[in-house]
Structure 1
Amino acid sequence: MPETPVTLLRAAMASDATRPFTTFYDDATGERVELSVATFDNWVNKTANLLQDDLSAEPGQRVALLLPAHWQTQVWLMACWSVGLVVVPGGAASDADLVISGPDTLDEARAGTGERVALALRPMGARFAEPPAGFLDYAAEVAGHGDRFTPYVAPGPGDPALESEGRTYTASELAELGAEAAKSWELGPGDRLLSALPFTREEGLRAGLLAPLAAGVPVVLCRNLDASALERRISTERVTRTIADTNG
């Protein structure tokens, strides 16, 4: 069977669940979060159970993902693919079956007529102080869901998984994108990739999730990158490859 992002995460769990998976920085707030493969997988499973059980999400449904470069965006991408959903990063809420919004895109998300979920994007996944009207508060709901996930209908490698820049990708094509990027960037054992690009850009999706999955290397994900701190960040995190637009 062809690889998919979900099977690559399963392989990472089997290989070394304790190794770092993602390290997240927000230079606007000073936040730093590090998640191991096991911790990341736990968040993915809980989120997939939320999607399947509470939101009645079904394979093939479209998800408008209105989130910035963030570790919770990585979680939502993997959870959606675990269920078999089609993710549209930055997509129109009015065209989606489900809308996932950060705190800065709530007005845009309200155009969605289906289920709407809001993320506060506070440190360590904390909930809103006051949940926005018309939205499910992700942080308030996800913790109660199971640590293991079994889809009612297992998604296949040939199923659509992403719409980006005018093209629809299957799950196996996403894994291939990651493998191609990992080869192009010469990622291998001992490497660590830094990305400061949003997931609305295909290069950001490759650098922020797909290539690290394919190569089995950790990723340092940066939001609101302070360009003056980049060299220090590279040294501190032992980064060997940087994908960043320091001009904004």
Structure 2
Amino acid sequence: MSPKELRAKIAKGEFTRPTAGECPGYIQMNMVALPKEYAKRFEAFAKENAKAIPVLEVIHEGHHSSILAKGADILSEIPKYNILRDGVVVETVTDITPYYQPDLVFFLIGCSFSFETALIENGMPLRHVDQQKNVAMYRTNIALKPVEGFSGEMVVSMRPIKKEKVADACVVTSHFPRMHGSPIQVGYPEMIGIQEISKPDYGDAIEIKADEIPLFWPCGVTPQNVITSMKLPFAITHAPGHMFVTDKKDSEYYE
């Protein structure tokens, strides 16, 4: 499927699973929607923490993309969304049209799913893609730089990589800085506050074999973690692993 075909299926409710491995070669985005009164401060916060929250498009008016997937409707073309009130996920839905209000500002944020094709093409198969699972994601103790009341800790995604390919994975992903870039940690989950790697905070548990090392990348679920810790009155995010698939090729973001 092309990204446009996939988004059409999503809008019809025919595709609601995680998007890892879908539309290889096209970038995928995290999404955060905040009331206007918080948006400017969040944008400044994201700029100061761009490795974890690399914003690629901001939709100040309406709810259609004009850069990453021209005309795509952010309200219905993401497989699942989380509705947060006072920092708590109160509902997960497949269409946020009933929750839309004109003062919402939408942020589309780079996602590590976007460099997975490059990893696979360079001889690094990904177990969650092969098994059609969601990627494993963890809260960490990595503090973000606070800006104008926004603060919190980073969330990371984990991919097991063969020991002899770890350096290759770091190099390949470093060429995608707007998709989180190189790993933030290699091989020592306890150093970033992860005590039980078999129990991710988001997504699915992924086996790590004896000849593999877990690599951890900053994750676009970080804003949801921040919103939760700050207890913001209202926000909408993508559900972890259920991304906005764009019309932009990953090659356009290779640096």
What is the TM-score with the length of structure 1 in the denominator?
0.24
Indicate the structure with greater helix content: 1
Pick the structure with more strand per residue. Answer: 2
TM-score normalized by structure 2? 0.23
The higher relative CO (CA closer than 8 Å, separation ≥ 6) is in 2
